[in-house]
Amino acid sequence: MMTAYEYERALNWAAALGAPLLSQNGVQPPYTTASCRAANFDSAFILHALWNVTDAEGVYELAQRMWSGMHNPSFQEIRLALAGMTLDQRKKYVQSYREHERYEELYTVNLYMDRLPPAGIAAWDLGRLVFYLRCAGLEGYISEQEEAALLLHTAVRARYAYRSWTDYAVAYMAGRQFWAQDLSEEASEINYGILCSLLTGEQTPWRELEWDIDLPEPPELPE
């Protein structure tokens, strides 16, 4: 039986998956609802403008889409195609697409594919989802209990997909670059800096909460 303290740590761990976006929006750890509210970002606008989410039904649909993978299937398809080539063949193949619109995707997959576990860039969707769940909770689209349940379902997926916060951070970075199709040094440095501060900064959740934390069994979700 999990104690109240252990359950709270598990929820804090789940919330920490969204640390990159939460911190970018001025939220201070441990990323509770109260700290999100204190950051005073426009959660309703974010959900509506990006995902047209305005109610609980939209939140659950978004969660299902992100659990299934919005960008990871394309990443894994390219990864599989490149996996049958030697390193030299991969490099030449990617460079042959330099003037093609898919070059940035191919380049990113080739750059990260050997560093990532089978889960690929699932971290990108899972991390963003945690941020959007916090937004939905702030707007009252879902109850506190519903938010906790969705967070735990997301946490379990991340917990068993990666081996450490570092693994998760690399996958998140790869996912963001794959999504943005932006290979610029400036964009890379900004996101690298955020992730590095979470991995190495003092008193960050990624330093304080062990990756292999015990997570409770997530409650069943409505059909």
Rounded Cα–Cα distance for residues 28 and 88 (Å): 45
Contact 90, 82 (CB under 8 A): yes
Per-residue pLDDT tens over the stretch 67-124? 999 999 999 999 999 999 999 999 999 999 999 999 999 999 999 999 999 999 999 9
Q: Give the whole-angstrom CA distance, residue 128 versus residue 19.
A: 9
| Calpha distance 219→153 (Å, rounded) | 8
- The structure tokens 């610029």 sit at 184
Read off the pLDDT of residues 169-192 as tens digits, 9 standing for 90 and up.
999 999 999 999 887 766 677 678
For the whole model, what pTM was predicted? 0.95
Structure tokens at 145: 């209990």
The pLDDT > 70 percentage for the chain reads: 98
What is the per-residue pLDDT for 184? 74
Query: Which of these, 123, 105, 113, lies nearest to 167 by C-alpha position?
Result: 123
Domain boundaries, the chain: 4-70+121-208
| Among 50, 20, 11, 15, CA closest to 172 | 20
3-state SS, residue 215? coil
Residue 217 is encoded by which pair of tokens? Answer: 């069994």
140 — phi, psi (to 5°)? 80, 15
Q: State phi, psi for 121 to the nearest 5 degrees.
A: -100, 30
Rg (CA), the chain: 18
